Chains A and B, each alone.
Chain A
Amino acid sequence: MIELYDIHKSFEGKPVLKGVSLKIAQGETLVILGRSGCGKSVTLKIILRLLKQDQGRIAIDGEDTTDYREEQMLPLRKKIGMLFQGAALFDSMNVKENVAYPLREHLKLSEEEIAQKVAQALSFVELSGSEQLMPSELSGGMKKRVALARAIVLEPRYMFYDEPTTGLDPLTSRKINELINKLKDEYKVGSIVVTHEIANAFMVADRFEVIKDGEILFSGTSNELKGSKLKFVQDFIKGGTIENASQ
């Protein structure tokens, strides 16, 4: 389980997170909804300690990582895969080398074993045969899928998705959502999905947390979200994306 307690974070004096608490267990998908700039991506980065919170506690599988230094976080990060909003593929490496990167860093495998694991990961995301392509030759959806293959190749217990379908066409978005659900169903991965696209959120979520003005406004299941009387929540469900929700 990953647990956040009372997380506060400001940038240049401007508060972004004001006391956010949440939990995610293995085998469930939590969707964090909110407007652009409300702190959704910051929450993911704080858990991974890519950013440091100003206040609050974090625990990963019972281990308090609140004050962990960078070198102490390295082993824990192997438990968590992250799909970045822009895919963040290493543009000097081809698809195979991108997916093989964590294998080469952390495991002592032969080239044949690496090639086999890369092929398995690419097959999972339905991109078999793309090993020699460079990131610049991939479409947006393909980049996301290669990045997903790279994130899962170490078989993490948790997955973080930062706007996984933003900027993608509906068919590709559906494919990404199917992969998110496949990871949960087949490998019992606990996932946090950060998005402002309500339709895609409903396709993957077991639970929702809605962030507004740095605080958790709503916490509950899909049905509870749909039945919520909160104007902000109702506005964005009707509007299709959280961007259309009123202040």
Chain B
Amino acid sequence: MKDYLINTAASTMEALYRFFAFHWEVAKRLVRPPYYPKLIWEQMDRVGVDSLPIVVLTSFFTGFVLAFQIGYALMRFGAKLYVGGIVSVSLVRELGPVLISLVFAGRVGAGITAELGSMQVSEQIDAMRALATDPIRKLVLTRFLAAVIMLPMLVVVGDLIGILGGMLVSVMNLGLTANFYRTSVVNSLVFNDLISGFIKPLVFGAMVSIVACYFGLNARGGTKGVGDAVTRTVVVSSVLVFLLDAFITKMLFLVGM
């Protein structure tokens, strides 16, 4: 039992070391060229533009359901006037960044791991290195930058769509006017809400892309190994979204945001 615990602790520490060493390798390449702008642009299209449909759907129904649930709860206290403010602040500060990042991890993260994992097990990564190119710069950095740029934009779009979904419910079911809803949204949101809602997807985008690339490039054992790597990416990314969300929320409250 003691040996098992020691071995497990040792292998966990080694895995964490390799994971953070990978972060360092990516960070080193951030500060000097080349950057492959054409590839970054292509990745922005794949991870950002192609994710719009699912982000729009997720966000719309999140705002829709949120308005329903909050509206009917507030109606008991005669306070349905506050639906617009609560929906918008909840979406912008929390639900938008977290839910859209979870969707991003499932769609984009899994896709990155599957692609890089397939390349790894078929020796394409070794071929790239043998052809004197740096796969971390060409494959990882491009995806990292694309995710960091596009996820905040997706969250902004998602927040707006979610707020629209809430407006639909407020007007059709809660007896509020569109103008009133819009005014309550604008009056409720403050600059700190926007900052909070922007910092989180920046961090989540960086995390999801690094996790996805790490597990992809370390896939072993053929197609089963690639499948295992994809599962690990989705699970680890999802858990880290919640952990980082709690940490960032706490930090922002400490600094008065």
A50 to B132, CA, bound (A): 11
A236 to B129, CA, bound (A): 34
Q: Of A75, A77, A90, A106, which is within 8 A of B124 by CB?
A: A90
A150: Cβ under 8 A from any B Cβ? yes
A88: Cβ under 8 A from any B Cβ? yes
Taken residue by residue from 72 to 111, chain A's Cβ proximity to chain B (1 for < 8 Å, 0 otherwise) reads as 0111011011101110111100000000011001100000
A246 to B128, CA, bound (A): 37
B122: Cβ under 8 A from any A Cβ? yes
The reply to whether B131 and A150 contact each other, CB–CB distance below 8 Å, is: yes
The reply to whether B130 and A82 contact each other, CB–CB distance below 8 Å, is: yes
Of residues 8 through 32 on chain A, the ones whose CB sits less than 8 Å from some CB of chain B are none
Can you name the residue of chain B whose Cβ is closest to the Cβ of A82?
B130
Least Cβ–Cβ distance between B43 and chain A, in angstroms: 13
Can you name the residue of chain B whose Cβ is closest to the Cβ of A102?
B131
Q: Chain B residues near A86 (CB, 8 Å)?
A: 122-123
A137: Cβ under 8 A from any B Cβ? no
User: Chain A: how many interface residues by the 8 Å CB criterion?
Assistant: 26
A71: Cβ under 8 A from any B Cβ? yes
The reply to whether A105 and B124 contact each other, CB–CB distance below 8 Å, is: no
The reply to whether B126 and A45 contact each other, CB–CB distance below 8 Å, is: yes
A233: Cβ under 8 A from any B Cβ? no
Q: Chain A residues near B128 (CB, 8 Å)?
A: 90
B14: Cβ under 8 A from any A Cβ? no
A48: Cβ under 8 A from any B Cβ? yes
B45: Cβ under 8 A from any A Cβ? no
The reply to whether A77 and B131 contact each other, CB–CB distance below 8 Å, is: yes
A74 to B128, CA, bound (A): 11
B10: Cβ under 8 A from any A Cβ? no
Q: Of A75, A77, A150, which is within 8 A of B129 by CB?
A: A77
The reply to whether A101 and B130 contact each other, CB–CB distance below 8 Å, is: no
Least Cβ–Cβ distance between A81 and chain B, in angstroms: 8
The reply to whether A74 and B127 contact each other, CB–CB distance below 8 Å, is: no
The reply to whether A90 and B126 contact each other, CB–CB distance below 8 Å, is: no
11 residue pairs from A and B, CB less than 8 Å apart: A48-B129, A50-B126, A70-B129, A71-B134, A74-B132, A77-B132, A86-B122, A88-B122, A88-B126, A89-B124, A102-B131
Known: A75-B132, A86-B123, A91-B122. 14 other contacts (CB 8 A): A48-B129, A48-B130, A50-B126, A70-B134, A77-B129, A78-B132, A80-B130, A81-B130, A84-B123, A88-B126, A89-B127, A91-B118, A102-B133, A105-B131
